[in-house]
Homo-oligomer: A and B are copies of this chain.
Amino acid sequence: MTDNKVNAKSVNEKVISPAVIKRLPRYYRYLGDLLKNDVVRISSKELSQKMNVTASQIRQDLNNFGGFGQQGYGYNVEFLYNEMGRILGLDRTNNIIIIGAGNLGQALANNQDFDSNGFKIIGLFDVNPRLIGMTVRGVEVYDIDMLEDFLSKNEVMIAALTLPKNKATKIAGELVDLGIKALWNFAPVDLNLPDDVIVENVHLSESIMTLSYRIHSKNL
C-alpha cells in the first residue's frame, strides 16, 4: 500500500523485508549480551549457534545493510552492535508518551529496558482523576485534556496506546491530527490511519490465541 508513496530520498534505498526487520532487534540483543561479556569478535557460525538460526541467514540479513563482516575474522561485536543500534534508530533519543495509565501503561513506564535503548517516556495521559497527578518512575500522569498543550511544547516521536479498544480509534485520530507519526498500539483494534503514519501493533489477545492454536493443534 505504501509502495506508491515512497519519497524521493528512499528511492535508491534497498527495500528491506519485514521479516528481516523483525529479526534486527534480536541481533541487537545478542550483540549487547556479547558486549557485556567482553566478547570482541564473533564468527557468523558462532553467532548462529547462540541464536539458533543458520549462519547463512545471519550473513544474508546483515548483507542487507552492507555486511559488516570480514572474511576469516568474523564480526567485530562492538562495531556491529553500534551499527545495528544506528540502523534501529537507537543512537538518538526517542520521546514517548503513553495514552492510558492503567496497569499496562504503568508496566511500560516501569520497563527499564527502554531507557538504555534511547527510548524516553516523558508523559502518561489518562481520564481517570485517581491516576492524574501521580508519577510512575518520576514520569507524571497528565489529564488527557492537556495532550494538545503538551505536544505543542514537547517533541514526541511515539505515542503508545494502552487504553480500551472503544477509545483507541478516536484518540489515535486526534494524535495524528496533532502531528504524531508513529503509534505503538496495544488496543485490540486495527487503526485505519493515513499511510504516512506508522503503526506497530501488540495484540495480546491474538498472541495468546496463537499459543492456544499451537497447543490444541498438537493434541488434535
Contacts and interface: CB of A to CB of B under 8 A. Distances in A.
Contact of A200 (B51, B182, B207): B207
A205 B114 contact: yes
Interface in A166-220: 181-182, 184, 188, 190, 192, 198, 200, 202-218, 220
A9 interface: yes
Contacts of A113: 188, 204-205
Given A24-B210, A158-B215, A184-B207, A110 B119 contact: no
A52 interface: yes
Interface centre among A25, A213, A216 (most CB of B within 10 A): A213
A117 interface: yes
B16 A90 contact: no
Nearest to A158: B211
Interface of A: 1, 7, 9-10, 13, 16, 21-22, 24-26, 28-29, 51-52, 87-90, 92, 94, 102-104, 106-108, 110-111, 113-114, 117-119, 157-158, 181-182, 184, 188, 190, 192, 198, 200, 202-218, 220
Contact of A214 (B7, B119, B200): B200
A69 B125 CA distance: 45
B25 A88 contact: no
Nearest to A50: B190
13 contacts: A25-B203, A28-B209, A29-B205, A52-B190, A88-B209, A90-B212, A92-B216, A94-B215, A111-B204, A158-B215, A181-B215, A198-B211, A200-B211
Nearest to A118: B212
